[in-house]
Homo-oligomer: A and B are copies of this chain.
């Protein structure tokens, strides 16, 4: 037995396996996931695992390594989120999202930090050794809403699209603020004196971190789109580029201390459109499928590890500090949302209702990012207290808020998401209105979002598409593309229902095929009726040569080649048939 040799990959594989099996297990019993969010169940599994490890080894189970979290577990989730982000509501509500993400987060950080410092001044609590800077540092890591936790809960409750994008967009974009404030306070903690220059440098840094992330992301995204122009002969490695470039954008941003989350989202949103047009349909299915799969596994692992890491001796318990942290997190977020929404509503026609405000405030879940940041803190004597407080806040938000948000949404009758996709008619009208509004803005000299969108669209079709798309000479409108997609789906459904061109003959076909062929001894072939029937079916339905690709070619999938020729053959046969 040589366990050492294979330990690392073996244990990683086993953890992933455990996560996947846990997921299957929950879905076998349909009732459970409809009451308790999956994230809670996973944390629960983690707690049990942690308890077992703790019981067996008699020492704390290993905590989730912050490096593993930030380098390997977080990127797939953010990539998935960015790639499948509905871009229209995101850009339409960009201003509001940014307000919540930037001003709201700063508000929360300072609110929580200062009020906790106030609590520390109460003698009876024996917390006077926690300085203001440490409290602010703690505030900066506990204030940020966590995209992983938000996604896990909000994807199950189906609130309306605007509400969803407000909470989710905020949780993604606040990363830039969190990175800056966390690093700023951490460096302040290690500095002997703080000059006012440092504070201003910190404010400037925010723009560098955020906009730098966007720039890094966009440049990698456009390079990815450009690269997929040249993959026509080796379809099989197309999906790889989507993953490689987005991961590189994340790593590069992290390397320069920019916001990796912002970078990967910019990369995904920037490349999606061009990559989708360049790569083959099967590649695209693979990309989508693998992204979903990967993010699903990462997400599962994160919650399980969160549970495992909770068990152990890393905690220092102090009732007042921990209780007040939970209370301040709730209160400051609620206040922040109220105040910011007041200003937002003054400048918008579609206001955010008070129900929506409540869900935005209540949906401010904390998760694994806080947890990883608190373990990354430099060692000081109260670190264990911070770890305990963070753990409690996370568990409180995920369990209490996460489990009650669905009943609350039902109770308040919050506007739900529309179940059906917009019809083609609606889409045409929306586009028509966009052009109309762009024209009106142009005439009135007001350069609003429609004006800029129109300009961007012009720049895109004039320069970017020519550079990034392989088959530029055939630009297809998105509605034509949608039509083609629906036709393809339709065709597959027709084929599955057996209605392709030869309606009435079909039931007999299925029956005869089954009786003839599932019988292992082929007794029925002696029946002349069945044979005749079968020959007729085969003659009508199969065209001469069904080529398949060479069995061992690593560059093409079987049956990937020459659709054009086949189509031509079918057409000829069909015409003859008519």
Contact = CB atoms under 8 A, between A and B. Distances in A.
Interface of A: 1-3, 5-6, 9-10, 13-14, 16-17, 20-21, 23-24, 27-28, 30, 67, 71-72, 80, 84, 86, 151-152, 154-155, 158, 161, 164, 168, 227, 230-231, 233-234, 236-237, 239-241, 244, 247-248, 251-252, 254-257, 282-283, 285-286, 288-290, 292-293, 295-297, 299, 417, 419-421, 423-425, 431-432, 435, 457-458, 461, 475-477, 479-480, 483-484, 486-500, 510, 513-514, 517-518, 520-522, 538, 541-542, 545-548, 550-555, 557-559, 563, 566-567, 570-571, 574
A245 to B, nearest CB: 8
A500 to B, nearest CB: 6
Given A247-B13, A542-B424, A552 B490 contact: no
Given A421-B547, A554-B155, A5 B237 contact: no
Given A17-B248, A477-B514, A487-B500, 16 more contacts: A2-B254, A5-B255, A9-B251, A13-B247, A13-B248, A16-B240, A20-B237, A151-B554, A161-B551, A168-B552, A240-B297, A457-B520, A480-B518, A483-B513, A486-B542, A494-B570
Contact of A477 (B1, B16, B168, B518): B518
Contacts of A2: 254-257
B553 A155 contact: yes
A13 B250 CA distance: 11
Contact of A254 (B6, B13, B431): B6
Given A236-B296, A552-B154, A552-B164, A488 B493 contact: no
A493 B566 contact: yes
Contacts of A154: 552
Q: How many copies does the complex hold?
A: 2
Contact of A517 (B9, B297, B480): B480
Contact of A491 (B417, B476, B492, B548): B492
A219 B164 CA distance: 45
B237 A293 contact: yes
Given A491-B500, A520-B435, A84 B552 contact: yes
A158 to B, nearest CB: 6
A522 B164 CA distance: 32
A551 B158 CA distance: 9
B541 A483 contact: yes
A517 B20 CA distance: 45
A24 B230 contact: yes
21 contacts: A2-B257, A16-B244, A20-B241, A84-B551, A154-B552, A158-B550, A161-B551, A164-B552, A237-B297, A286-B290, A292-B554, A295-B554, A296-B554, A423-B542, A479-B513, A480-B514, A484-B496, A487-B500, A487-B541, A490-B495, A497-B570
Contacts of A255: 1-3, 5-6, 10
Nearest to A6: B251
Nearest to A288: B557
A80 B520 CA distance: 31
A64 B486 CA distance: 49
B499 A495 contact: no
Given A554-B295, A570-B490, A480 B513 contact: yes
Contacts of A477: 513-514, 517-518
A381 B513 CA distance: 70
Contacts of A254: 2, 5-6
A516 to B, nearest CB: 8
Contacts of A520: 435, 457-458, 461
A302 to B, nearest CB: 13
A67 to B, nearest CB: 7
B289 A236 contact: yes
Contact of A489 (B28, B290, B420, B559): B559
A299 B555 CA distance: 12
Most chain B CB inside 10 Å of its own CB: which residue of A233, A495, A557: A495
Contact of A552 (B155, B293, B488): B155
